[in-house]
Amino acid sequence: MKVAVVGATGLVGSKMLQVLTERNFPVTELIPVASEKSVGKEVTFKGKAYKVVTAETAISMRPNVALFSAGGSISLEWAPKFAAAGITVIDNSSAWRMDPSKKLVVPEINGKTLTPEDKIIANPNCSTIQMVLVLDPLHALYGINRVVVSTYQSVTGTGVKAVNQLMNERKGVTGEMAYAYPIDLNVIPQIDVFLDNGYTKEEMKMVNETKKIMGDERIRVTATTVRIPVMGGHSESVNIEFEKDFDLAAVRSVLEKAPGVIVVDDPSRQQYPMPKDAHERDEVFVGRIRRDETQPNTLNMWIVADNLRKGAATNAVQIAEYLNQKQWL
């Protein structure tokens, strides 16, 4: 089992290597891929050093699967070349997510839609993944009409440069800025670029990806995405309007049984999900489950997950695990 990791030296790429190790994915040879300036550097995986190579060299080495986390432009250029060589690509960028010919996969929800012919598989946006894992079992029971989500997203979602900006500001050190404004002791209500409709690209990702993953174009989603000075993971305040009424105890029971979801919801003991508790965990945590008292059939909740793990690396590796179990790699 040869595995290429494209973008192996980045935050998500490094996390992919960590998750592959932790989950004992059967890697016999690692092929770390990065930009020209990183070629020749070494990446350590399971105690062994591997030299970083170019994407072109990686294709010639014929990996079974390539996990991409090097940005949309790299994915658009190189994923088709890997796929043409018979290599299955699992891509973490936004490049292929809304392509109607490509599957957008959260294994617990729609992994079964995959086939051996799917050579480029899209990994959803981090904030979408954690939300749909909670929404999907509730949609099956009650039918979702509308979702209003506000996110509180970690600087790790931007990358190393943003983490460095936050840490520099904490220390009072001047350094390279990932954002247009300071992030420490601040929140920035913009993630990605603004579009013509006044929403950001990140907000529209949540709108469009939710419908595609859950296979229902009727679900209405509106989002506000916000960057906060946090490291451990993304948090979301989610308001869900259902077609049918629900019982709160039944909602909790359904979520407690949902794969990959952990309910942390005991207000009497001040127990609810927080990014620091989700850090380095693969599960999605949900709490503050309560009825919206302003309108019928509507629920409020708070959802937290480690955006580098289930929001990116772990979901990609889980897709690879599914393909491997099917003996399609």
Where is the binding site for NADP(+), in residues?
Answer: 9-12, 37-38, 307
Q: How far is CA 222 from CA 94, 309, 322, in A?
A: 19, 25, 31
Q: Cα-atom radius of gyration of the chain, to the nearest Å?
A: 20
Rounded Cα gap, residues 168 and 26, in angstroms: 39
DSSP 15: H
Q: Which residues are catalytic?
A: 126, 234
In degrees rounded to 5, what are phi and psi of residue 189? Answer: -85, 50
C-alpha distances (whole Å) from 118 to each of 59, 68, 101, 251, 319 are 18, 15, 9, 35, 12
The answer to whether 25 touches 3, Cβ cutoff 8 Å, is yes
Give the count of beta carbons closer than 10 Å to the beta carbon of residue 174: 7
The dihedrals phi and psi of 176, each to the nearest 5 degrees, come to -65, 140
Q: Residue ranges for the binding site for substrate?
A: 153, 227
Which segments are annotated as binding site? 9-12, 37-38, 97, 153, 227, 307
Annotated binding site for phosphate: 97
Contact between residue 135 and residue 216 where contact means Cβ atoms under 8 Å apart: no
Sequence-distant (≥ 6) Cβ neighbours of residue 157 within 8 angstroms = 126, 127, 191, 227, 234, 307, 311
Structure tokens at 79: 């994923």
* H/E element, 300: strand 298-305
